Amino acid sequence: MATFLLVPGGGSDPSYWRILVSELADRSHRGIPIDLPCEDDDADLTAYAAAVAAQTPADADRPIVVAHSFGGFTAPLACPLVDASMLVFASAMIPRPGERPEQWWAATGTAQAQREAAASQAYDPDDFDALFYNGVAPDVVAEQIERRQSDTPATQIWPGSALPDVDTRFVLFRDDRFFPESFMRRVVADRLGVEPDVIGGGHMAMLSHAGEFADHLDGLT
């Protein structure tokens, strides 16, 4: 049995991992949805990493840390705290030392990539649901809990000196509109220098393609 620490994106309630947690359990693994202090204006990324460590079960033997979206800034900081065996970026933002998370968008050209993808596929890039929840059933979208995301962790320089020295993978979601595939491939090549693995689903693939996502994670163990 592997333990997966599931680090959420910005303003996300940990409950959005629930379907993936169930699928992992069906494969004899344990998924731990991490609750980050996203609404606390006094909490920075160091506090977020500490929250991951505090919620890691005592019997977790070298867990696998899975980061989604904005969680990509927290997970690398948490890896040494939990003695992680692997770091998995899942359609996640990859940090760079000396850069503030709020600078990531312009540095990577995210907005232009989103506009270009929307134009080529004929959807509205300003429609949040179309961008973020594409492929997720409407009733599942309606169940999602949205939380306020403090600006604090985005405005401070990422505190890591480098990405952790641990086996690191990237899972790209094929139908992601928030971080389109061609854009994400370029970012991964630039910041990680690896070939990403690809599975189905949009940005919230843990809600629309949880079985495929769980199969992929299972294959990493």
Mean pLDDT of 76-81: 98
Average pLDDT, the chain: 96
| Four-point Cα dihedral 96, 32, 4, 135, nearest 10 | -80
Residue 129 pLDDT > 90: no
The position carrying tokens 């920075």 is 44
Mean pLDDT of 191-207: 97
Q: How many CB atoms lie within 10 A of CB 192?
A: 15
Quote the pTM value: 0.95
Size of the chain, expressed as the number of residues it contains: 221
Angle, CA of 114, 206 and 191, to the nearest 5°: 50
Name residues whose C-beta falls within 8 Å of residue 94's C-beta, 6 or more positions apart in sequence: 72, 163, 170, 187, 188, 191, 192
pLDDT digits (tens, 9 = 90+) for 83-107: 999 999 999 999 999 999 999 999 9
> What pLDDT does residue 125 have?
85
